[in-house]
Amino acid sequence: MADPTPQQRLERLGVTLPPAPKPAGVYKPGLVVGRHLYVSGHGPLRADGTMVQGLVGRDMDADGGKQAARQVGLAILSTVISTVGSLDKVSRVIKVLGMVNSTPEFDRHPHVINGCSELFAEVWGPDAGVGVRSAVGMGSLPGGIAVEIEAVFELA
């Protein structure tokens, strides 16, 4: 029996993807250049179109931030599908940059961004789904969102 494809793995997770976000400024949510897909910074967009807002370390704990980062990952998956047609067209995750809207004393940024990284590992597998990564804290993010993440993927 063949290994499940990334699209099949996503279906098995039983999650609901939010709609692919529309640009909130002058940029493209996703852009293919050669064999790479660059995905602009995405927020924690829910299926109903609302965003997870708040300061990690004040309005939510690290695990709440991790859930918000997973929600960002779902929004990124929507953009991948709307840009290239299927998750199966991505051969690997190259890079993830995670930004956490947090209090100055909060220092568990990597734990928060694991919410997105773990989702990508579930979809593309423990090797292809894990790339290089940065996880940093920010003094603020647009609209008061809890997490913003951008990513780069290699196309098959």
**Tokens coding 27:** 């940029």
Report d(CA 63, CA 108) in Å as an integer: 10
On whether the CB atoms of residues 43 and 100 are closer than 8 A, the answer is no
pLDDT of residue 84: 98
For 33, counting Cβ atoms within 10 Å of its Cβ (0-12 exposed, 13-18 middle, 19+ buried), the class is exposed
Residue keyed to tokens 């098959």: 156
CATH code of the domain in which 94 resides: 3.30.1330.40
d(CA 108, CA 34): 35
Residue 55 located in a structural domain: yes
Number of domains composing the chain: 1
Q: What residue type is assigned to position 14 of the chain?
A: G
Q: What integer pLDDT is reported at residue 134 of this predicted model?
A: 98
Tens of pLDDT, residue by residue over 87-115, are 999 999 999 999 999 999 999 999 999 99
CA–CA separation, 98 vs 16, rounded Å?
22
Which pTM value belongs to this model?
0.97
Predicted pLDDT of residue 1: 72
Residue 111 domain-assigned (yes or no): yes
The token pair that represents 56 in the structure block: 């990690």
Domain span at residue 47?
39-155
d(CA 60, CA 102): 9
Q: For the chain, first and last CA: distance in Å?
A: 22
Residue 7 lies in a domain: no
Q: Is position 72 within any domain?
A: yes
Determine, yes or no, domain membership for 3. Answer: no
pLDDT of residue 7: 95
Express each pLDDT in 42-66 by its tens digit.
Answer: 999 999 999 999 999 999 999 999 9
pLDDT digits (tens, 9 = 90+) for 111-141: 999 999 999 999 999 999 999 999 999 999 9
The DSSP bridge partners found for residue 150 are: 97
